[in-house]
Amino acid sequence: MATIVSLDPRVTRMEIEQDPGSAPEPKAELDQFPTFEVFHQERTGAHHVHVGSVHAPNADLALLLAKEQYGRRGQTVNLWVVNTRDVVTMSAGDADIFVTTPEKTYRDVGAYMVRNKVEAYKKQMGDQKS
Amino acid sequence: MNQDAVKDLLVRMADDVLILAHRHSEWTGLGPVLEEDIAFSSVAQDKLGHAQALYAILHEHFGMPDPDVMAFGRAEADMRSCHFVELPNAEYDFSLVRHLLFDASEYVRWSALRESSFEPLAKLAHKIHGELKYHLYHAQTWIVQLGSQGSEESKARMQSALNAAWPYALGLFESRSGDADLVASGFFPGEDALRAEWEVLVQGILEKSSLTMPHDHAAVLGGRDGYHSEFLAPLLVEMTEVYRIDPSATW
pLDDT (average), residues B85-108: 96
Is there a contact between B36 and A65 if contact means CB atoms under 8 Å apart? yes
User: What one-character DSSP code corresponds to residue B150?
Assistant: S
Is there a contact between A67 and B134 if contact means CB atoms under 8 Å apart? yes
Is there a contact between A64 and B137 if contact means CB atoms under 8 Å apart? yes
Kindly state whether residue A38 falls inside one of the protein's structural domains: yes
CATH number for the domain spanning A111: value is 3.10.20.520
B232 pLDDT more than 60: yes
Up-side HSE of residue A50: CA atoms within 13 Å toward CB? 8
Residue of B106, B102, B108 whose CA lies nearest to B87: B102
Is there a contact between B141 and A64 if contact means CB atoms under 8 Å apart? yes
Q: Between these two residues, B169 and A101, which has the higher pLDDT value?
A: B169
Q: Quickly state the pLDDT bin for A27 (edges 50, 70, 90).
A: confident
Alpha helices for A1-130 (secondary structure H): 9-12, 59-71, 114-129
> Which amino acid type is present at position B182?
L
Kindly state whether residue A11 falls inside one of the protein's structural domains: no
B contacts of A67 (beta carbons < 8 Å): 39, 134, 138
Up-side HSE of residue A22: CA atoms within 13 Å toward CB? 7
B216 pLDDT more than 90: no
Q: How far is A61 from chain B (nearest CA, A)?
A: 7
Sign for the CA dihedral angle at B28, B30, B34, B37 comes to negative
Q: Who's near B124: CB < 8 A, 6+ residues apart?
A: B53, B54, B57, B113
3-state class (DSSP) for residue A36? strand
3-state class (DSSP) for residue B26? coil
Domain count, chain A: 1
| CATH of range B3-245; options 3.10.310.10, 1.10.10.60, 2.60.120.10, 1.20.1260.10 | 1.20.1260.10
Dist CA B41 CA B31 (whole Å): 9
Q: pTM of the entire structure?
A: 0.83
Q: Quickly state the pLDDT bin for B250 (edges 50, 70, 90).
A: confident
Kindly state whether residue A76 falls inside one of the protein's structural domains: yes
Lowest mean pLDDT among A14-23, B37-46, B212-221: A14-23
- Phi then psi dihedrals of residue B233, to 5 deg: -55, -50
Q: What is the 3-state secondary structure (H, E, C) of B158-204?
A: HHHHHHHHHHHHHHHHCCCCCHHHHHHCCCCCCHHHHHHHHHHHHHH
Range of the structural domain that residue A56 is part of: 31-129
Dist CA B216 CA B166 (whole Å): 10
Q: Are strands A35-41 and A49-55 parallel, antiparallel or unpaired?
A: antiparallel
Residue of B49, B182, B22 whose CA lies nearest to B118: B182
Q: Between these two residues, B160 and A126, which has the higher pLDDT value?
A: B160
Dist CA B9 CA B177 (whole Å): 11
Mean pLDDT of chain B: 95
B166 pLDDT more than 60: yes
- Would you kindly state where each structural domain of chain B is located, as residue ranges? 3-245
Instruction: Note whether B232 and B76 are within 8 A (CB).
Output: yes
Work out the angle at residue A68's Cα, subtended by the Cα atoms of residues B81 and B139, and round it to the nearest 5 degrees: 50
pLDDT of residue A4: 59
Please enumerate residues of A whose Cβ is less than 8 A from a Cβ of B.
9-10, 13, 33, 54-58, 60-61, 64-65, 67-69, 72
Dist CA A114 CA B15 (whole Å): 64
User: What one-character DSSP code corresponds to residue A130?
Assistant: -
* E strand residue ranges, chain A: 35-41, 49-55, 78-83
pLDDT tens figures, A63-78: 999 999 999 889 999 9
Dist CA A31 CA A61 (whole Å): 17
pLDDT tens figures, B119-144: 999 999 999 999 999 999 999 999 99
Q: What is the largest CA-CA distance in chain B?
A: 53
Q: Give the closest of B42, B142, B144 to A68, CB-based.
A: B42
Q: Give the closest of A9, A55, A56 to B30, CB-based.
A: A9
Sign for the CA dihedral angle at A52, A58, A64, A65 comes to negative
pLDDT of residue A130: 64
Q: Quickly state the pLDDT bin for B86 (edges 50, 70, 90).
A: very high
Kindly state whether residue A9 falls inside one of the protein's structural domains: no
Q: Who's near B168: CB < 8 A, 6+ residues apart?
A: B82, B83, B84, B87, B219, B220
Instruction: Note whether B101 and B142 are within 8 A (CB).
Output: no
Residue in chain B nearest A14 by alpha carbon: B30
pLDDT of residue A3: 64
Chain B, residues 31-50, CB within 8 A of chain A, namely 33-36, 38-39, 42
pLDDT of residue B249: 87
pLDDT (average), residues B233-251: 91
pLDDT tens figures, B28-39: 999 988 889 999
Q: Quickly state the pLDDT bin for A13 (edges 50, 70, 90).
A: low
Instruction: Note whether B105 and B167 are within 8 A (CB).
Output: no
B138 to each of A92, B44, B221, B250, how far by Cα in Å? Answer: 38, 12, 28, 35
For chain A, the distance separating the N- and C-terminal CA atoms, rounded to the nearest angstrom, is: 89
In 3-state terms, chain A is what percent helix, strand and coil (to 5)?
40, 15, 45
A49 pLDDT more than 60: yes
